[in-house]
Structure 1
Amino acid sequence: MMSVWSRTQAGRWGLLLGTMLLAGLAQALEPVKPEIDERDYRHLTLDNGLQVLLISDPNADKSAAALDVHIGHNQNPLGREGLAHFLEHMLFLGTEKYPEPDAYQNFISRHGGRHNAYTAPEHTNYYFDIDPDALEPALDRFAQFFIAPLFNADYVERERHAVDSEYKARLKNDARREQDVHRELMNPAHPAARFAVGNLTTLADTEERPLRADLVRFYEQYYSADRMALAVLGNESLDDLQSMVKERFNEVPKREVTLPSSYPPLFAKNQLPLKVEIEPEKERRQLSLLFPVPSDRSHLGEKPLNYIGHMLGHEGQGSLLSLLKDLGWAENLSAGARHRDRHDALFQVSIELTELGVRATDQIVALAFHTIEQLRRDGVSEWRYRELKQMGEINFRFSEPQPPMETVRRLAYRLHLYAPEDVLRGAYHYRQYDAELIAQYLGAMRSDNVLISLVAPEVEGEAKSSYYQAPFQTRPVESDHPKIKERIQKRLTFPEPNAFIPTRLDVKEAPMLPGPGSRGEQSPEHPEKVLDRERLQVWFQWEERYDVPKSRMRLRLKLPRVAASAEGAARMELVARLLEDQLNEFAYPAQIAGLDFSLRPHARGLDIDIFGYSGRQNLLFTKIVEALRKGRFDEDRFDDLKSRVIRQWRNEDKETPYAVIAREIPRLHYAPYWRGRDLIEPLEATSLKQLHEFTDALVKDASVEALLYGNLYRQEAVRLAAYIEHQLLGDVTRRELKPARVYRQKGGEETPWVYRYPLDHDDQVVMLYLQGLSTRPEDAAHMRLVRQILRPAFFHELRTERQLGYVATLFALPLRDQEGTALVVQTPSASVERVWQEMEAFLADGEQYLDENLEDQRSALVRELRKPAKTLQEQSERYWDSLMLGDERFDRRERIAQEVEAITPESLKRYYRQVFVENGRRLWLVTDEADPERSAREISDIIDYQRSLETLIYP
């Protein structure tokens, strides 16, 4: 089968290549695009073999570019694990034409942009976005990465430590640890068995083997133009984009690159079947079945692994997940290709287990193989493939434009996978049903060709993996699986036809006004209130700009019984999870058909969010409301999900350290706010009877804010508002909702505050939190501009120059409309005292950066604030954020933009000194008990700390 496809594909490509040769290598091709996509596209191949996709979008608020090199860490030489990743780092640090190590980063930031890169097994992807008028000079700097990088010897040692810091920052990441164990079990001759990230040992710089020489050799061996694909998006015409690209990227050298025609098997002969048990850092339990299968790169049109993943990963009635939940053994299930490279792949079925499920591992494996056998026997059917094909066509037809940087990053990668005409639709396009091909892949999913991986705290590892020190042990797999009772087998069925697949896909036209010659209504500029009651406000806007048959319903339920205490917040979290679980079998087909929902509990209530194709939204909304009103749950599911929620809360402090510390800021400055560990005890003490009593009274005294937006008419919104009022506003018992409070520092003190939060991690974190002076747009404008200016300088000084750690950044951390900025360093080696001092030194000298290109920085921020939303989803987010801030005029962004335009060098420096320099406005958060050299006011009691601050009240 594979050879037949190869001949067909070769013939198609041969015809295409012949056409290109006749017309010249730069012959342009136009990819197939969605009908609502107003961008223009052109594909061409430069003389040096570099593929290019040009995207002209006159309305784009940002330009962007990405270059994907079809080379990754699978090409690392033996003994130089991590070299491809190290190369990715080094390319940012100067070129012959632009030798300064921060020239590229500073230029991108100065013109309102962002940049990043990643290294994967077979790809390395570099990308950025920028203000439209700066695209050409940005491309000039970007192209030099691939023409004449310096690989400055002064930065080899520094960046080697940066890679090591990145490696150490994730030593306790369970995904990395699990992957490390699996890597050790793979065939050592396969490149996937090698360590990918790199550390000080694998990147050692010695006289016998200089690191820079290996780096240059790798670059010159593999970074060839014909292994590259470039995507560029800009306001310019396609001809102008082509001119600026050809002028620069034609200079990228083409080299003779030799790659293996095949890889050795992923697992050595007779190594499978095998079972491995891994001890995690977090309290998590997961069973995975990993099957080595042939690469599906030759069958991206037929998508056999997508079909198999869809069938095995189904969550509706009769599914494997549904049965495992009923048995009390599992909470979640996913299926699909996990690892893909040029020559092979891993198909993975992963099951999140309960504690009871860990003890039933053998039975679960038997059920999984029974399901695979059932799929092989009678689950491969053309009508199911047609459903996937139909939804693919619908989703492609109405695929809304993604942000420019995401667009180019994704398309540069896809240029290596798909023919030029399919680069946009390839991921959606199911070319043809091939039962034999699906059967071939199912044939590889056998009990003698599987790695069974169990991750659970109950495991006691006998060995440790080489790089992440994960305890594990291996066991032989029994040849005979437990027999499954016939009555259990009968409960496993495959899905019926999906009734949620949308059939009404017309975008509603503007309603006609009464009277002769009247025209349809124009969409209002922003949402309008269609219902305004004391306990219910409903906002509505019919939307025509995005030309998609989709809508979004968002509701915030403010619930006094939730806001009253940690007990109420804990119970609301569990109720939300139980409701999602209860609705899952009904809602999963809707999700497959492009209609999804979420329930987000918070400290004062519950948010309901429904988004997707509008035809069946009312049905889904009705089901959600009915389940919430009923509020009755099965005892087994109550026990399982209660344990799951508590387990997630216990794991919170085992996340990335700086993210854990960032969560402490709202704990100190916002109320009501609860961390997970604050809620464990009240939830543990909650019985099912108490939870039912809680749900019975849940909507009493409730109030609701709602936004109904998109492909629906005003009269539909009014009917929905009436339904909300009738169903979700319970009795009034005069129980008042506790107001929200934001605590703001007053300043005026000579010493800063410090808050210590020790973590069980080898890295240390130092975070500085700074609040704005007020909630006025003027304050927000100054804070955002300072943050934008400082970000690249902070990264360069503390990470690149001073080598404090892999994480060195600053980010926005607002609380309601109170602006805030967090500066953070996470370090594997430096002391808290040193990092504290280095951050203070940076801020003491930080005023110098405010003078550099202020006009460019100000213009970039104004453009960012004024850029129009590109999708219905994005616009709905903006409207909702405005409503949550009480901005009923929907103009806060514009008011901030106007204030940015009014900023002067003097006002910016004055603001910087008040907010970023004054000690009394500083809150330091650290993970070490050690004292810094200077004194600080330590926070020992949070309530006392909050009493010393200014309090802002929100209803």
Structure 2
Amino acid sequence: QVWQYPSQLYSDQPRGVFYIQINNDAPIKSIKADVLTALWRDLYNMNVSALDTEANIAGMNLNLNDGTGLSLTVSGFTDKQPQLLERAIDNLSFNVEEQAFKQAVDRYIRELQNKGQQFPIYQSFDAYGQLIREGGFNQTDLIETAKGLTSADLSDFMNTLLGNNAIRVFAFGNYDRGDLEESVKNIQASLPEDRKVTDFKMAQFWKPETGKSIVLRRDLDVADVAVVDAHIHPQPGFAALAAGTVLQSHFRTVAFDTLRTEEQLAYAVGSFAPSLDNYAGFGLYIQTPVKSVADMQERFDSFKEEYWEDLQEMTPEEFNQIKQSTLITLNEKPKNLMEEVSPFLADLSLQRFEFDSKEQLIDAVENVNLEDAKTFYQQTMLN
């Protein structure tokens, strides 16, 4: 499946972003497949380092990421992209040398172990991400799995994934039909002749339910404690997302002024506005050396009530000022092609094929009022 979308703002530039998803859900179903995909990405990037340098000199970029399968991105000047793409795809399958594989496993394990020494707030957000979406595996289990793998495992997995997948291409920028047809032929030629086309699969989000909570507690090797406390609105849609989008800047300011500046509970403290697919949320986070987890959670809970009192005193005029500031940010012109394509790639990742989420959010923000914001806050942080 191929989507072509010309740039609306930089159509005079001979540039483009060519994004290929080689989709297979094994990495979100199997911890072994998850580790093998990460090792595959690492070894690929090592193998194409010279090609990547050559591409950079020519004003292009090459990037392979792992996730629900693999995603390959070629971007920059479009005149030489077909040649770069052909070489990039040809390198996807390679002989796995035993020594190179052991080095990749060692890099993978050390990277995970180093994460265990990161600031607690970073580790907390990693854990939060694992909770809310399918395919998040425990760090200890990942390390033990990696230790038990062989180069033959990766070779077999590469053959399996390249022979069983669904492929999507998103071409954004200065491409014509001939460019795309040539690229599609190169992709097809690189795949096994007996390739099986599978259903396109995505990692699923946890579905919010009223009255349902998920709690994760974990001991860390580093000092300080961290808390990430997120509430998700029970109804999906852009109306709730718009209310949260407008309110978050004010909520963030009050949270920082109160918890950081006045009470000096921590250096790393603030709020965030998470989203789970079509569900909007609100949250607080902190890393603190002066309070326990239980004490900090109690302070968060009391702060949520305090902010509600502040919100009650907000005037429609004050809210409209915040709203207009939000609209200015949302309507700000992208500074380059990558900023312009970002909302479309976000929609593609969530299978929103109308590619109009940004416009829908702007429309919803224009229609939101103070009472909507109060209702959103009640149904989220006070629910």
TM-score relative to the length of structure 1: 0.38
Query: Can you list the C-alpha shifts for 1:804-834, whole angstroms capped at 9, x where unaligned?
Result: 0001111233233333333111112223333
With over 3 angstroms needed to count, the CA separation of the structure-2 counterparts of 1:707 and 1:692, relative to structure 1, is same
Q: Matched residue of 1:744: which SS?
A: coil
Decide which of 77, 83, 87 is 1:619's aligned counterpart: 83
Q: In 2, are the aligned partners of 1:553 and 1:611 still within 8 Å (CA)?
A: yes
Q: Distance in 2 between matches of 1:897 and 1:762?
A: 42
With over 3 angstroms needed to count, the CA separation of the structure-2 counterparts of 1:816 and 1:747, relative to structure 1, is closer
Q: Write the letter of the residue equivalent to 1:777.
A: F
Cα offset, 1:780, TM superposition? 1.1
Q: Matched residue of 1:765: which SS?
A: strand
Residue 774 of structure 1 aligns with which residue?
235
Aligned residue pairs, count? 378
Residue 761 of structure 1 aligns with which residue?
222
Q: Matched residue of 2:44: which SS?
A: helix
Aligned pair 1:742/2:196, yes or no? no
Cα offset, 1:686, TM superposition? 1.3
Q: In 2, are the aligned partners of 1:701 and 1:731 still within 8 Å (CA)?
A: no
Q: Distance in 2 between matches of 1:733 and 1:538?
A: 18
With over 3 angstroms needed to count, the CA separation of the structure-2 counterparts of 1:775 and 1:732, relative to structure 1, is farther
Q: Distance in 2 between matches of 1:709 and 1:847?
A: 44
Decide which of 164, 174, 187 is 1:711's aligned counterpart: 174
Decide which of 721, 737, 755 is 2:184's aligned counterpart: 721
Decide which of 817, 825, 850 is 2:278's aligned counterpart: 817
Aligned pair 1:874/2:339, yes or no? yes
> Percent identity at matched positions?
23
Q: How does 1:742-891 map to 2 (within 5 A)?
A: 742-748=205-211, 754-850=215-311, 851=314, 853-891=318-356
Residue 6 of structure 2 aligns with which residue?
542
Q: Distance in 2 between matches of 1:735 and 1:704?
A: 9
Q: Write the letter of the residue equivalent to 1:612.
A: G
Query: Can you list the C-alpha shifts for 1:429-480, whole angstroms capped at 9, x where unaligned?
Result: xxxxxxxxxxxxxxxxxxxxxxxxxxxxxxxxxxxxxxxxxxxxxxxxxxxx
Residue 529 of structure 1 aligns with which residue?
none
Q: Distance in 2 between matches of 1:770 and 1:707?
A: 33
Query: Can you list the C-alpha shifts for 1:728-752, whole angstroms capped at 9, x where unaligned?
Result: 4764558666553211332247xx6
Cα offset, 1:572, TM superposition? 0.6
Q: In 1, are the aligned partners of 2:162 and 2:195 still within 8 Å (CA)?
A: no
Aligned pair 1:641/2:104, yes or no? yes
With over 3 angstroms needed to count, the CA separation of the structure-2 counterparts of 1:697 and 1:594, relative to structure 1, is same
Q: How does 1:901-912 map to 2 (within 5 A)?
A: 901-912=366-377
* Relative contact order higher in (CA < 8 Å, ≥ 6 apart): 2
Residue 73 of structure 1 aligns with which residue?
none
Query: Can you list the C-alpha shifts for 1:348-388, whole angstroms capped at 9, x where unaligned?
Result: xxxxxxxxxxxxxxxxxxxxxxxxxxxxxxxxxxxxxxxxx
Residue 301 of structure 1 aligns with which residue?
none
Q: How does 1:179-328 map to 2 (within 5 A)?
A: none
Q: Distance in 1 between matches of 2:142 and 2:50?
A: 29
Q: In 1, are the aligned partners of 2:24 and 2:201 still within 8 Å (CA)?
A: no
Q: How does 1:476-491 map to 2 (within 5 A)?
A: none
Q: Distance in 1 between matches of 2:70 and 2:185?
A: 19
Which structure's residues are more often helix, by fraction? 2
Q: Write the letter of the residue equivalent to 1:891.
A: D
With over 3 angstroms needed to count, the CA separation of the structure-2 counterparts of 1:561 and 1:824, relative to structure 1, is closer
Aligned pair 1:702/2:161, yes or no? no
Q: Distance in 2 between matches of 1:562 and 1:731?
A: 22
Cα offset, 1:675, TM superposition? 4.7
Q: Write the letter of the residue equivalent to 2:355.
A: F
Q: Write the letter of the residue equivalent to 2:293.
A: V
Q: Write the letter of the residue equivalent to 2:135.
A: P
Query: Can you list the C-alpha shifts for 1:312-358, whole angstroms capped at 9, x where unaligned?
Result: xxxxxxxxxxxxxxxxxxxxxxxxxxxxxxxxxxxxxxxxxxxxxxx
Q: In 1, are the aligned partners of 2:37 and 2:69 still within 8 Å (CA)?
A: yes
Q: Distance in 1 between matches of 2:285 and 2:130?
A: 18
Q: Write the letter of the residue equivalent to 2:306.
A: D
Q: Matched residue of 1:611: which SS?
A: strand
TM-score relative to the length of structure 2: 0.91
Aligned pair 1:654/2:117, yes or no? yes
Q: Distance in 2 between matches of 1:599 and 1:874?
A: 19
Q: Matched residue of 2:91: which SS?
A: helix
Q: In 2, are the aligned partners of 1:701 and 1:736 still within 8 Å (CA)?
A: no
Decide which of 24, 27, 35 is 1:570's aligned counterpart: 35
Cα root mean square deviation, aligned: 2.2
Decide which of 873, 894, 897 is 2:362's aligned counterpart: 897
Q: Distance in 2 between matches of 1:677 and 1:818?
A: 31
Residue 47 of structure 2 aligns with which residue?
582
Q: Write the letter of the residue equivalent to 1:765.
A: A
Structure 1 spans left out of the alignment, 5+ residues? 1-536, 919-955
Q: Write the letter of the residue equivalent to 2:74.
A: I
Q: In 2, are the aligned partners of 1:805 and 1:828 still within 8 Å (CA)?
A: yes
Query: Can you list the C-alpha shifts for 1:693-727, whole angstroms capped at 9, x where unaligned?
Result: 11122222211121112232222123223333443
Q: Distance in 2 between matches of 1:677 and 1:548?
A: 47
With over 3 angstroms needed to count, the CA separation of the structure-2 counterparts of 1:862 and 1:825, relative to structure 1, is same
Residue 57 of structure 2 aligns with which residue?
592
Q: Matched residue of 1:576: which SS?
A: helix
Moved more, 721-730 or 909-918: 721-730
Cα offset, 1:692, TM superposition? 0.9
Radius of gyration: which is bigger?
Answer: 1
Cα offset, 1:662, TM superposition? 0.9
Q: Distance in 2 between matches of 1:734 and 1:542?
A: 28
Q: Distance in 1 between matches of 2:96 and 2:211?
A: 54
Q: In 2, are the aligned partners of 1:657 and 1:765 still within 8 Å (CA)?
A: yes
With over 3 angstroms needed to count, the CA separation of the structure-2 counterparts of 1:728 and 1:823, relative to structure 1, is farther
Q: Distance in 2 between matches of 1:681 and 1:833?
A: 32
Residue 228 of structure 1 aligns with which residue?
none
Q: Write the letter of the residue equivalent to 1:793.
A: V
Q: Write the letter of the residue equivalent to 2:297.
A: W
